[in-house]
Structures are given as structure tokens and as C-alpha cells.
């Protein structure tokens, strides 16, 4: 594949570069990412007369015009036309920007929609990759090669900050319109689910099971999108998944989803719960929009998205939890999710759903406020309310959060000052779930549970003076 792009791009192009990581010290420049507020990528279907086939435009400063090591806003608009190109394909074709951009040597593309993050390496820049036009040329060729139904295509990159900001607001409206279409459909209403393995270059054992009530982890492919993709590109990353037998309606275990996960993960994943973060949780890739994480100190669930700056209420930043969560692993207590999944009627239904959520960033809460039951809206804390699990516990008690009813706590006796050895007893909140890989931080100690299953009625903590065992 590399040789076929030499006429339009100064560096190699091919699947071998997919999954390439570019560290900050290696990058020439980055677009989007956590330090940039306005960024997006969008595919729109147009009439053929509105498109100049093969045209690639850059509005604003190009790669060569920007300071090395800087972070800049970016909007990507891909416009396509064809007699067989349907509006339903926009979301699916949009997701392929991720794959096709990663085929380029020295270019890293992460995430999707309004969360894109692109880096260009210094080595590729020195080879001549100094313009977004080269990247656009590659997209044009790959799209037409992979999807013959596309008769015309043009690509526009916007780097002018004000123009990106204006188009960003329009893009959000388009994403919302797509998402709202699938909200009225239930898993019980369809004959099949769909799968996606687009992220397997970053997470080899990850298989995304997409249902009406469970959008892809990246948030960009709903059930309608996946169905359209599987039909138009049968050999592509999206495929039909037979529902099979419903083994457990509460956790959302289907024999067909289990079979698909086993086949596509080459046997690494054999069971998947679609509606729970415990037991056999859905695998997580690396492009998830947010993480649902268990907070053992309050027996509740927190939500943090990738744009959140600083540590979450459990003391861990998104990046640390992402390393624990992603890579195609099934880690109980950590689950990659899409923001849209929080609107699902089956959102963590086996774990208590919204009645179990105790903390999230304020701007995420505002975004999904209409999905939160009205009686819970003032009971879920944000970074504006608390900054530690100790403060969170008091907040939940004061607000009367439903999770408080789950607690079986007792007063902890005071430690006798000066005693050579003191013994403290506390009752652990009842957990009807095994805990694996969940860090519990607080009270001057740190407990990290790995590859264990714990069921305890009582936890005894002993304080031992130095020199004594």
C-alpha cells in the first residue's frame, strides 16, 4: 500500500502504522487533545453539485506555519456524494477518519467527534509532511478505495480558531440529532446486535457490542449506524451479531454476544455483561468517552470523562484510570462508556443505575441532566461540591442519596494514643459483587486489589509500632 501513495504524500501509508504512538517529546505539533477546547470531525452527505471531487482545503494556518510543540484547534469536514450514499452512513464514515489517518506514517489520531486528538511526529515533518493537505489527500484516496459508492469527496481542515469554534457548535447539534434517533429503540425490539473491532489496533482483545440501548464506547456509532455499515461494507470492522439466547436480562448477557466476543478476541473474552461493570464487564478500548469507576469508600459509582483536568474524587486522574481500564481488558469496577450510554434506560441497570452514581464532573452532569432522575439531581456530587471520598461520604449522607441505604457502617473506635498496638474494627459496606483491580485510597492507607474476589463481614486494621511485628 505504501508505494501507491508516493504521488500524494511524502511519507509511507499503510496499516502497519496503525496503532503508532507519538509521545510529546517526539511530536512536531498536535491538534485537539485535552488542552484544546474546540475540535471536531464531521462527515456530511451532499448533493454531487456541491462537491469538487478530490479537493482538499486548509482554512487557517497549516502545519508548517505553527510553532513546534504547540496545541491547536482543528475542525475536519469530509463531504461526500454518490447515488447510493445514504444519510445513515455519515456516522460510520466519520469514524473511519480515525482509521485512515492512523495509516499515515508519523500521524497519530485518537478519539472521535468532539474529542479528536491528532499528533504529527517530528520525523515525518522532516520528511516533508508539513501540510494537512497531504493527510487530506490520503483520506480522499482511501475513502474512494474502501467505499466505491462514494463518487465525489472533498476534505476541509479548519485551523482558524474562530471558525473552528463556530462550526463546533453546529457539529454538536448534528451529533445530538443522530443520537436522539436511536433513543426510542430498545434491545428487545431488534433481531440482532452489531459489533465493531475498529479499535483492535490499540486494544487487540476489545470487541464493541453495539445495541439500541448501548452505543459504542467512543459514542460515535449507534445501532442504526452499525447496521448501515455492516450492509455497505460486509468485510469492514462492523458486523452483525446474533442475539442468541437471553441468559440474564438484568446484567444483559446474551449467548450471541458472548460468541461474538469470543470469536473476535480469539478466545480471550468469553462472557460479556452489557448492563453491568462487575462480573464480566464489557471490554474497554482506548477511545471511550468516559470511565465509570467504583468507589469502595461509599459503595458508589463515579463518572469521569477524558476532558476532566486533575484527579477525580478517588484521587486518580483520567489518564491513570484509562491505563487500568483500556487495552481490551475486562476489569471489574472500571468501565469505558460513551456519554450517550448514560441516557440509556439500561445504563448500569444491574448495578443500580443512576441510584448508584455519586460523583461526576459538573459539566458532564449538566450535559446529561435531563437523563438523571429529578429526585437525584441534587444528590450527585461534582468537583464543585467535594474533593475527596471523605467529603463525598458526608455529602451523600447530608443529601440523602439512595446509596446511603446500602451502607452497613459502624462507628470506628478511637485508637488509644501511645498504645504499642491498637486494633480498629469497621464493617465493610455489603458488596454483592467481586472487586478486581479497584484501588481503595483513604485514611492514610492504600489498598490495591488485583486478581482477587473479596467477600467480608468485617475489616480489621491494626496499627503496629516500628520495630514490632
Domain residues of the chain, as ranges? Answer: 2-182, 187-405
pLDDT surpassing 80 at residue 347: yes
Minimum mean pLDDT range among 250-254, 322-326, 366-370, 402-406: 322-326
Give CA 177 to chain center in angstroms.
Answer: 20
Is residue 253 within 8 Å of 273, Cβ to Cβ?
yes
Q: In what order do the strands lie in the sheet with 56-59?
A: 39-45, 74-81, 152-158, 56-59
Question: Mean of the per-residue pLDDT values for the chain?
Answer: 87
**What pLDDT sits at residue 439?**
43
- Rounded to whole angstroms, the Cα distance separating 208 from 168 reads 27
Domain 187-405, classified CATH 3.40.970.20, yes or no: yes
Evaluate if residue 414 carries a pLDDT over 70.
no
Dist CA 196 CA 338 (whole Å):
14
CA–CA separation, 72 vs 30, rounded Å? 6
Which pLDDT band holds residue 362 (cuts at 50, 70, 90)? very high
The percentage of the chain sitting over the pLDDT mark of 70, rounded to a whole number, equals 86
Answer yes or no: is pLDDT of 412 > 50. Answer: no
Task: Check if the beta carbon of residue 158 is closer than 8 Å to that of residue 164.
Answer: yes
Burial 356-371 (b: 16+ CB within 10 A, else e): bbbbbbeebbeebeee
pLDDT score of 464 more than 90:
no
The pLDDT of residue 426 is: 39
Round to whole Å and give the CA distance between 56 and 6.
Answer: 17
Residue from 154, 189, 202, 186 nearest 54 by CA:
154
**Size of the chain, expressed as the number of residues it contains:** 469
pLDDT at site 236: 87
* 448 vs 270: CA distance, rounded Å: 26
Residue-wise pLDDT for 89-106, tens only, equals 898 899 899 999 999 999
The CA distances from residue 322 to 210, 292, 318, 328, 331, in Å, are: 21, 10, 6, 11, 11
Residues 6 or more apart whose CB falls under 8 angstroms from that of 69 comprise 24, 27, 28, 29
CATH of domain 2-182: 3.30.1650.10
Res 107 pLDDT > 90:
yes
The pLDDT value given to residue 356: 97
For residues 197-206, give the mean pLDDT: 84
Dist. CA 167–CA 460, nearest whole Å: 57
Contact 290, 300 (CB under 8 A): no
Q: Name the helix (H) or strand (E) containing 93.
A: helix 90-102
When pLDDT is cut at 50, 70 and 90, the band that residue 456 belongs to is low
Look at residue 294 and tell me whether its pLDDT is greater than 60: yes
pLDDT at 170 over 50: yes
Closest CA to 303 of 335, 350, 273: 335
Q: Which residues contact 375 (CB under 8 A, 6 or more apart)?
A: none
How many alpha carbons lie under 13 Å from residue 40 in its C-beta half-sphere? 23
293: which residues sit within 8 A by CB, 6+ positions away?
301, 302, 303, 304, 312, 314, 316, 321, 325, 333, 334, 335
What is the rounded average pLDDT of the residues 347-376? 96
Statement: residue 447 has pLDDT above 80? no
pLDDT of residue 455: 55
| C-alpha 74: how far from chain center | 20
pLDDT of residue 112: 87
Q: Where are the beta strands (DSSP E) in 169-235?
A: 192-196, 208-210
* Residue 417 predicted with pLDDT over 80: no
Percentage of the chain modeled with pLDDT above 90: 72
Backbone phi and psi for residue 98, each to the nearest 5 degrees, phi listed first: -60, -50
The residue ranking higher by pLDDT, 348 or 408, is 348
Rounded CA separation 440/462 (Å): 17
Least confident segment among 20-34, 114-128, 190-204, 302-316: 190-204
pLDDT band at 440 (very low <50, low <70, confident <90, very high): very low
Cell of residue 375, nine digits: 429526585
Distance CA 58, CA 133 (A): 7
pLDDT the model gives residue 151: 97
Q: What pLDDT does 435 receive?
A: 42
Average pLDDT over residues 167-174: 95
How much is the average pLDDT of 204-211?
A: 94
Tell me if 321 sits within 8 A of 293, measured CB to CB. yes
- Assign 432 a pLDDT band (cuts: 50, 70, 90): very low
The β-bridge partners of 140 are none
pLDDT digits (tens, 9 = 90+) for 47-102: 999 999 999 999 999 999 999 999 999 999 999 999 999 888 898 899 899 999 99
Place of cell 487495552: 327
Q: Tell me what pLDDT residue 86 has.
A: 87
Predicted confidence band of residue 198 (pLDDT cuts 50, 70, 90): confident
Amino acid at each position: 500500500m505504501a508505494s501507491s501513495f508516493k504521488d500524494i504524500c511524502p511519507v509511507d501509508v499503510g496499516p502497519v502504522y496503525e496503532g503508532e504512538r507519538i509521545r510529546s517529546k517526539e511530536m512536531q505539533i498536535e491538534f485537539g487533545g485535552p488542552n484544546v477546547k474546540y475540535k471536531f470531525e464531521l462527515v456530511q452527505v451532499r448533493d454531487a453539485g456541491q462537491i469538487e471531487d478530490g479537493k482538499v482545503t486548509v482554512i487557517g494556518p497549516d502545519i508548517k506555519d505553527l510553532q513546534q510543540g504547540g496545541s491547536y484547534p482543528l475542525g475536519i469536514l469530509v463531504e461526500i456524494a454518490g447515488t447510493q450514499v445514504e444519510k445513515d452512513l455519515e456516522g460510520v464514515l466519520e469514524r473511519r477518519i480515525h482509521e485512515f489517518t492512523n495509516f499515515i506514517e508519523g500521524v497519530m489520531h485518537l478519539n472521535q467527534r468532539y474529542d479528536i486528538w491528532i499528533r504529527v511526529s517530528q520525523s515525518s515533518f522532516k520528511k516533508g509532511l508539513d501540510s494537512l493537505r497531504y493527510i487530506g489527500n490520503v483520506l480522499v484516496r482511501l475513502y474512494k478505495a474502501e467505499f466505491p459508492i462514494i463518487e465525489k469527496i472533498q476534505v476541509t481542515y479548519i485551523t482558524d480558531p474562530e471558525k473552528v469554534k463556530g462550526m463546533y457548535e453546529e457539529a454538536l447539534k448534528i451529533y445530538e440529532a443522530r443520537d436522539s434517533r436511536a433513543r426510542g429503540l430498545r434491545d428487545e425490539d431488534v433481531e440482532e446486535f452489531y459489533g465493531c473491532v475498529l479499535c483492535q489496533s490499540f486494544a487487540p482483545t476489545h470487541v464493541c457490542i453495539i445495541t439500541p440501548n448501548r452505543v459504542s464506547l467512543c459514542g460515535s456509532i449507534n445501532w442504526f449506524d452499525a447496521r448501515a455499515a455492516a450492509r455497505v461494507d460486509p468485510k469492514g470492522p462492523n458486523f452483525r451479531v446474533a442475539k442468541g439466547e437471553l441468559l440474564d436480562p438484568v446484567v444483559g448477557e446474551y449467548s450471541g454476544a458472548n460468541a461474538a466476543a469470543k470469536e473476535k478476541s480469539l478466545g480471550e473474552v468469553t462472557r460479556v455483561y452489557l448492563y453491568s461493570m462487575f462480573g464480566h464487564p464489557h471490554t474497554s478500548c482506548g477511545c471511550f468517552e468516559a470511565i465509570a469507576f467504583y468507589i469502595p469508600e461509599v459503595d458508589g459509582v463515579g463518572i469521569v470523562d477524558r476532558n476532566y483536568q486533575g484527579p477525580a474524587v478517588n484521587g486518580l486522574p483520567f489518564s491513570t484510570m484509562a491505563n487500568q481500564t483500556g487495552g481490551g481488558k475486562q476489569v471489574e469496577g472500571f468501565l469505558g462508556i460513551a456519554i450517550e450510554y448514560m441516557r440509556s434506560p439500561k445504563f448500569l441497570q444491574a448495578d443500580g443505575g443512576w441510584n448508584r452514581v455519586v460523583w461526576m464532573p459538573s459539566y458532564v452532569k449538566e450535559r446529561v441532566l435531563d437523563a438523571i432522575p429529578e429526585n437525584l439531581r441534587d444528590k450527585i456530587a461534582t468537583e464543585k461540591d467535594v474533593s475527596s471520598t471523605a467529603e463525598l461520604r458526608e455529602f451523600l449522607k447530608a443529601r440523602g442519596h439512595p446509596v446511603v441505604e446500602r451502607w452497613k457502617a459502624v462507628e470506628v473506635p478511637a485508637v488509644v494514643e501511645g498504645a504499642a498496638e491498637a486494633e480498629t474494627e469497621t464493617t465493610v459496606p455489603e458488596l454483592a459483587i467481586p472487586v478486581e483491580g479497584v484501588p481503595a485510597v483513604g485514611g492514610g492507607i492504600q489498598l490495591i486489589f488485583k486478581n482477587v474476589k473479596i467477600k467480608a463481614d468485617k475489616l480489621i486494621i491494626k496499627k503496629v509500632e516500628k520495630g514490632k511485628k
